[in-house]
A = this chain, B = another copy of it.
Amino acid sequence: MIDPEPAGASEAGGRREEIVEIASRLFAERSYRGVGMRAIASAVGVQPASIYHHFSSKADILDAIIADVTERFIAAHLYLLDPKFVTASSMRQLVTEHVVYFWQHRIAEAVGLRELKELSVARAEHVRRSRRSYQDAWICAIQVGVSGGWLPAQNPRIAALALLSMINGVNAWYREAGPLSIAEVAEMHAEMAVTGVLGGCPEAPP
Distance between Cα atoms of A118 and B29 in the complex (Å): 11
Partner of A169, one of B166, B173, B192: B166
Q: Which B residues are CB-close (under 8 A) to A114?
A: 114
Q: How far is the CA of A164 from the CA of B172 in the complex (A)?
A: 11
Q: Does residue A33 face the partner (Cβ distance < 8 Å to B)?
A: yes
Looking at the complex, which of A38-46, A56-64, A151-159 is the stretch in contact with chain B?
Answer: A151-159
- Is A137 part of the contact surface with B, judged by Cβ < 8 Å? no
Is B158 within 8 A of A169, CB to CB?
A: no
A75: Cβ under 8 A from any B Cβ:
no
CA distance in complex: A192, B172 (Å): 21
A105 at the interface (CB under 8 A from B): no
Shortest Cβ gap from A145 to chain B (Å): 14
Give bound CA distance, A165 to B180, whole Å.
Answer: 18
A189 within 8 A of B: yes
Give min CB distance, A159 to chain B, whole Å. Answer: 7
Q: Check if A14 is an interface residue, CB within 8 A of chain B.
A: no
Q: 1/0 contact trace for A131-149 toward B, CB 8 Å? A: 0000000000000000000
A88 to chain B, nearest CB (A): 14
A198 CA to B195 CA, complexed, in Å: 10
Chain B residues whose C-beta falls within 8 Å of the C-beta of A170 in the assembled complex: 161-162, 165
Q: Is A90's CB within 8 Å of the partner chain B? A: no
A31 within 8 A of B: yes
- A168 interface residue, CB < 8 Å from B? yes
A117 contacts B by Cβ under 8 Å = yes
A residues in contact (CB < 8 Å) with B: 30-31, 33-34, 114, 117-118, 154-155, 158-159, 161-170, 172-173, 180, 185, 188-189, 191-192, 196-199
Shortest beta-carbon contacts, A-B, top 6: A165-B169, A33-B33, A196-B196, A166-B166, A196-B197, A162-B166
